[in-house]
Structure 1
Amino acid sequence: MFLAMNRFKVKLGSEADFETVWRERDSHLKTVPGFKTFHLLRGATKDDHTLYASHSQWASRADFEAWTRSEAFRKAHGSTGANKPLYLGHPEVELFDSVLAQSVEDQAA
């Protein structure tokens, strides 16, 4: 499993607009080989921003990297520049390879 995360510092007062952008965008992920799941997470609110993280799970790093070179990726990210006024700074990308995994199903066995 491979995990890709982006951390966003969203300006105070822009949270609803930021969430709407993500809720209404066509991510083009449902047909991408190796894509497993996506989540948008809201974190703590600080003096000047609210922290958000987008979290996508992939079957492998190779599947994720293939997506980043695909037409689906270009379509999904085509209008991201228009949303810059919602953020403080640039999103921070974090990439992770799975080392250990456990699930509820593992505990029942």
Structure 2
Amino acid sequence: MFIATNRFKVKHGSEAEFERVWRERDTYIASVPGFVAFDLCRGAEKEEYTLYISHTVWGSKADFEAWTKSEAFRLAHRDAGASSNRVNYIGGPEFEGFESVLSLTPGEKAA
């Protein structure tokens, strides 16, 4: 399993708009091979911004990499940075990718 995250530092006052953009956009991701799950998470409020992460779970790193090279990816990101998205950021998104080395479900124990 592979987990891909992007961190966003959203300036105070832009949180509602940031969340609206994510709720209303078509991600084109649901039918992509290897896609497992997506979450948009709001984190801590800092002095200048609120931290968010987008969090996707993939069957494998290869599945994620194939998504980044797909037409679905291009369609999902075509309006990124558009003036219609009035979100104030500090810097750009910060990508982090993780390969799962241990995954547990309820009732399981680590071996």
TM-score if structure 2 supplies the norm length?
0.92
Other-structure match for 2:68: 68
Correspondence list, 1:7-22, <5 A: 7-22=7-22
Q: Distance in 2 between matches of 1:94 and 1:84?
A: 25
Q: Could you tell me how far 1:86 is from its partner in structure 2? A: 2.1
Map 1:93-108 onto structure 2 (within 5 A).
93-106=95-108
Structure 1 gap segments, 5+ residues each:
none
**What is the CA–CA distance in structure 2 between the aligned matches of 1:100 and 1:69, rounded to whole Å?**
27
Aligned-residue Cα RMSD (Å) equals: 1.2
Shift of 1:81: 1.3
The structure with the largest helix share of the pair is 1
For residues 84 and 68 of structure 1, the distance between their equivalents in structure 2, rounded to whole angstroms, comes to 25
Give the AA of the match of 1:89. Answer: G
Percent pairwise identity: 60
Counterpart residue type for residue 67 of structure 2: W
Structure 2 residue runs without a partner (length 5+): none
